[in-house]
């Protein structure tokens, strides 16, 4: 990673040092799946909305969030049809592995002998991280969060694991785990808040390392739920955290500044940079 124009040098140095030491956890959102070739990249939430409403009588769909449109689609059709739609859009052989995923696996390759092994948390359902790890013969374990909150609180990765993937909103390999509709989010939120709804292994790691959020908006429920359920419970050993994102076009400079100050109070520093180019 070369030093980036526009990123405070102190932020860049901190991130680079902690990545090198294996002292950070990457938390990947939908924006991390956007590639440089639009025709071969994972679809954005807006693209999925457009495809979902193409055979439903819904107007002004661009203003509706993906969970709401997914909920309508499930009601009009059924859940297996929604699952098939997700497989067709997120598991196509025409898609290529996002460059951000490749860059993160590059980092994992240099940390594969570390103890504990690296952890990547993602709310994405696709299997491209797993495929990239397979291509490079990196041993990994995957933990898929049950959206109802039923989990093995004492789960740990196998001893020879070189990286652990925590799929916080489910996975295409286990479609019943996927959190995408309004109803799924309600079930997930009811399940995730409470005692031991996240394995202790992940809680301990998150509470001892820096988090780097890639591909999120600070208004995303994914980002905020995880931070509330795990990070804000930490009382000591405060670490700096970072979110790599650009200023949303709909926000004025004053509102954006207020948002950055709000998250700074929670030890999250905003790096105003495009996620796609951050690792170059």
Q: For 117-134, write each residue's pLDDT tens digit.
A: 899 999 999 999 999 999
* Alpha-helical regions (H) of 33-166: 45-52, 66-76, 79-90, 99-111, 128-135
Tell me what pLDDT residue 177 has.
94
Most confident among 15-19, 30-34, 97-101, 230-234 (mean pLDDT): 97-101
User: Do residues 200 and 173 lie in contact, with contact meaning Cβ atoms separated by under 8 Å?
Assistant: no
Tell me what pLDDT residue 12 has.
61
Reported as a pLDDT band with limits 50, 70 and 90, residue 237 is: low
Reported as a pLDDT band with limits 50, 70 and 90, residue 278 is: confident
> DSSP code of 147?
T
Q: What is the mean predicted confidence (pLDDT) over 165-187?
A: 93
pLDDT at 235 over 70: no
> DSSP code of 127?
S
Identify the residue whose tokens are 């709000």. 262
Q: For 38-78, write each residue's pLDDT tens digit.
A: 678 899 888 999 999 987 888 777 788 999 999 999 999 99
pLDDT at 22 over 90: no
CA–CA separation, 158 vs 33, rounded Å? 27
Nearest to 226 by CA among 174, 275, 169: 169
Tell me what pLDDT residue 2 has.
46
**Average pLDDT of the chain to the nearest whole number:** 84
- In this structure, the dihedral spanned by the alpha carbons of residues 145, 151, 153 and 157, taken in order and rounded to 10 degrees, is -50
Exposure of 137 by Cβ count < 10 A (0-12 exposed, 13-18 middle, 19+ buried)?
Answer: exposed
Higher pLDDT, 245 or 131: 131
The residues that bridge with 165 in the sheet, in sequence order, are 120, 142
Q: For 135-157, write each residue's pLDDT tens digit.
A: 999 999 999 998 876 788 889 99
**Domains of the chain with bracketed CATH:** 9-38+98-277 (3.40.50), 45-90 (no CATH)
């Amino acid at each position: 990673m070369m030093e980036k124009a526009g990123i405070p040098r102190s932020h860049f140095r901190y991130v680079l040092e902690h990545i090198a030491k294996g002292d950070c956890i990457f938390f990947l959102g939908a924006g991390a799946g956007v590639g440089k070739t639009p025709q071969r990249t994972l679809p954005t939430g807006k693209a999925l909305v457009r495809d979902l409403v193409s055979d439903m009588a819904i107007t002004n769909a661009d203003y509706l969030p993906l969970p709401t449109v997914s909920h309508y689609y499930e009601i009009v059709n059924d859940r297996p049809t929604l699952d098939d739609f997700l497989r067709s859009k997120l598991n196509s052989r025409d898609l290529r592995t996002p460059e951000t995923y490749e860059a993160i696996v590059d980092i994992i390759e240099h940390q594969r002998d570390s103890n504990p092994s690296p952890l990547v948390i993602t709310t994405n359902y696709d299997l491209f991280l797993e495929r990239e790890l397979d291509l490079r013969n990196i041993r990994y374990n995957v933990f898929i969060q049950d959206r109802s909150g039923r989990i093995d609180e004492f789960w740990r990765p196998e001893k020879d694991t070189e990286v652990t993937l925590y799929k916080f909103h489910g996975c295409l390999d286990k479609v019943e785990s996927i959190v995408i509709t309004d109803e799924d989010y309600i079930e997930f939120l009811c399940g995730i808040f409470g005692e031991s709804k996240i394995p202790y292994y992940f809680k301990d790691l998150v509470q001892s390392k820096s988090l780097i959020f890639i591909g999120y908006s600070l208004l995303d429920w994914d980002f905020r739920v995880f931070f509330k359920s795990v990070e804000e419970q930490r009382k000591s050993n405060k670490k700096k955290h970072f979110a790599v994102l650009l200023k949303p076009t709909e926000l004025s400079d004053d509102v954006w500044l207020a948002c950055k100050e709000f998250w700074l109070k929670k030890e999250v520093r905003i790096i105003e940079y495009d996620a796609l180019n951050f690792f170059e």
